Amino acid sequence: MALGKYSRVDGRKSSSSYCSTVTLVVFVALCLVGVWMMTSSSVIPIQNLEVSSQDSKNKVKEQVSESNPSSENNDTIPKQFEDNPGVLPEDATKGGSHEKTQKENNTSQNSNTFENVSDSAAERNQEENPENKPKSEGASKTETENGERRTEDGESKMVDTDSEAGETRKDNSDGNSGIQGNPENDKKSDSGESEKKSEENTVMKQDGDKADGRIEVDGEAKDLLSNEVFPSGAKSELLNETTTQNGAWSTQAAESKNEKDAQKSSEPNQEVVYTWKLCNVTAGPDYIPCLDNLQAIRNLRTTKHYEHRERHCPEDPPTCLVPLPEGYQRPIEWPTSRDKIWYRNVPHTKLAEVKGHQNWVKVSGDYLSFPGGGTQFKHGALHYIDVIQQSVPDIAWGKRSRVVLDVGCGVASFGGYLFDRDVLTMSLAPKDEHEAQVQFALERGIPAISAVMGTKRLLFPSRVFDVVHCARCRVPWHIEGGKLLLELNRVLRPGGFFIWSATPVYQTRAEDVGIWQAMTELTKSMCWNVVKLTKDKVNKVGIVIYQKPTSNECYEKRARNEPPLCEESDDPNAAWNVPLQACMHRVPVDASERGSRWPEQWSARLEKPPYWLLSSQIGVYGKAAPEDFSSDYEHWKHVVTKSYLTEMEINWSKVRNVMDMNSIYGGFAAALKKLNVWVMNVVPVDSPDTLPIIYERGLFGIYHDWCESFSTYPRSYDLLHADHLFSKIQKKCNLVVVVAEADRILRPEGRLIVRDKLQTLNELESLLKSMHWQIPFKYSKDTEGLLCAQKTLWRPTEVETITYAIG
């Protein structure tokens, strides 16, 4: 090459001796350079080269290829070409000068970075797929055996299961991280893997800049090499999946879209200019938009069936922020909170005046205290709970009976003390004249929702509760053909128990006797068996315990078809805005159908796939349903252990009430089992209906549409978790509405953890910052990101009057 350069013909003849001399000098020089390169202990660092076009990338490849002709065969690479910093200076391995170049050109990617990081995502992919198939630059990855799946919009995400994909590690000491494939896969040539590095371990700084292989915690950049920080930020596949496969090739549309999205997401974060206002509503700090739509309530034709206590969501959801009660302070921590809460956080005394003699709640100076009583258990809920267990040992609290529905819960002391028996209780009561009863429950750290048994089905699947309880719940079960009791029959598991403790059970007044007779006839026609009629001598109340049948034999032998069996076309799992019907659904008898037999005892049911999940069924992430379930559980155990509990600086002792806003299989909640928290699992109504799976594993949850407000009081939750939720719902409703709702239900100093697309995350971050939220943690990888935000006590000063909420 050098000879050709210096021996071009210019019309003049050169002496042969002169040419020979030049040739000899050049040859000797090249030999010396080659000897120097072969004896050098490290390769010239090239990680600070900024490659701005495909042509320059190709030039770099040619230079590396010339210096290492055998780079295509990894096992022949000399030691100095391995992923080893050698004796390079510290700034060469950490890319110090690289950050400055990136600020000047945000769309350019560093495609030639050598980093001393083992167990990268590419290596773990090779562990599961030793064929090590080549990928074209810029192409999104298609579905392979290691768990990748493409969504309808062309993006691809990695399922982060027990393979620990996407986790950066310092060593291979973990027993699950050893590479079992060909050792050649552990090595990377200069031209092969270096260009992939620019897409990995990118951490977003709060000013929009990026730093390779680092995270930002409380504004301070930390090196990823010190810990296992994150499993794959993608969790992987979103719910929109294609049914066709592209093999090892991507489509041009997908490639182009991914490139445009990557360029857009790498642009500096543009702050969203949004002016927040304070909600001016009659409910004040207790505002629940879908329950306090006073204009809609005034226009109701009747309130006979408690229509005024049902959800009436405004067509134009509020985007204002709910004010704080005067003197609000950090809630008292569990378990102390079960016994007392700050009065100023829930400044209501009416219930103490009306129910204080029944030990519901009392005012004690700066506190509201809860002696643990109730209308039917004045002398304590625990004794009442034990009486039930002794009367019917098959109930087996915390083993056979794990998930309970408490209707008309009051301040939820029954559910609060069932925690001592390892039982999870969904407490339910309306927002009515019993002022703030559900708000008291949530402030105490006890699960509860504001709901009423009125004209619509409860927002739960069929056959999911092990026990349903009603203690003086003021629900007229016997009227209108038993329509309300038949709704309990829908949600009660076959073989489950209904526990009724009310005056008709044990008092002899004419009204009570009449109700008891009507209930006796109704429950008999429903084939409910009276298992036990007993008395709690300490609390001086009577209790009757019914059991739902486990077969259809009794239904078929009834003399009268009253109440009637539901039509075969009636879906018992349909619950979103579905009117009540006075009919019964048949009991499943097929061995492979949910409800045909009782689940595993707690806590074995938490980890095992339900018996009715079949390998022939395809799960949410594209695998066979049982494998999908197990992979999801392993993924969230890893995420929680390696990330949420250790890297986000969250004080989990102060976290009690948790909501997973997009739960899928409930894996996130299951991974928190050992913590002193409970999780409200929400399955969006436009997502795959996996809520029955969540209940089957001994957890609970509810259906919801996030374009509407949730049926809970403001400041209900300590932590909200949203996995790929915001990017989905912003396609159908205003993101500002959802952010305002998250602010409403989250407590001051509470945390919001979001895993989502980077573009959505940037927009969300700007909105949160405009509300003066803090962003102590943010991380990104490829086009995916993770953000942890903390709400503050800040409230705007400008006021917005919500006319439909003024009464």
**Cβ–Cβ contacts within 10 Å for residue 61, how many?**
18
Estimate to the nearest angstrom the gap between the alpha carbon of 631 and the chain centroid.
15
| Residue 257 reports pLDDT greater than 70 | no
Question: Could you tell me which residue, 490 or 187, shows the higher pLDDT?
Answer: 490
Sign of the torsion angle spanned by Cα atoms 543, 548, 554, 555: positive
Q: Which amino acid is at 416?
A: G
Q: What global pTM score does this model have?
A: 0.72
pLDDT > 90 fraction of the chain, expressed in percent and rounded: 61
Of the candidates 641, 633, 643, 638, the one whose C-alpha atom is nearest the C-alpha of residue 666 is 633
Per-residue pLDDT tens for 712-729? 999 999 999 999 999 999
Amino acid 217: pLDDT = 52
pLDDT > 70 fraction of the chain, expressed in percent and rounded: 68
55 falls in which pLDDT band (50, 70, 90)? very low
Of the candidates 167, 156, 80, the one whose C-alpha atom is nearest the C-alpha of residue 127 is 167
Q: Which amino acid is at 441?
A: A
| Residue 205 reports pLDDT greater than 90 | no
Mean per-residue pLDDT, 469-490: 94
Question: Could you tell me which residue, 606 or 35, shows the higher pLDDT?
Answer: 606
Amino acid 88: pLDDT = 34
Q: For 634, how many CA atoms within 13 A lie in the half-sphere containing its CB?
A: 15
Question: Could you tell me which residue, 607 or 42, shows the higher pLDDT?
Answer: 607
Give the 3-state secondary structure of residue 185.
helix
Mean per-residue pLDDT, 210-233: 43
259 falls in which pLDDT band (50, 70, 90)? low
Amino acid 17: pLDDT = 57
Per-residue pLDDT tens for 282-297? 999 999 999 999 999 9
Q: Which amino acid is at 57?
A: K
Per-residue pLDDT tens for 673-713? 999 999 999 999 999 999 999 999 999 999 999 999 999 99
Going along the chain from its start, the domains and CATH numbers come out as 278-322+617-805 (3.40.50.150), 376-444+464-557 (3.40.50.150)
Per-residue pLDDT tens for 105-147? 443 443 333 333 334 333 434 444 444 443 444 434 333 333 4
| Residue 551 reports pLDDT greater than 90 | yes
Estimate to the nearest angstrom the gap between the alpha carbon of 720 and the chain centroid.
8
Helices (H) and strands (E) in the chain, counts: 24, 25
Distances in Å between the Cα of 134 and the Cα atoms of 121, 199, 252 are 15, 16, 17
Amino acid 144: pLDDT = 37
The per-residue DSSP string of 298-325 comes to HT-S--TTSGGGS----SS---SBPPPP
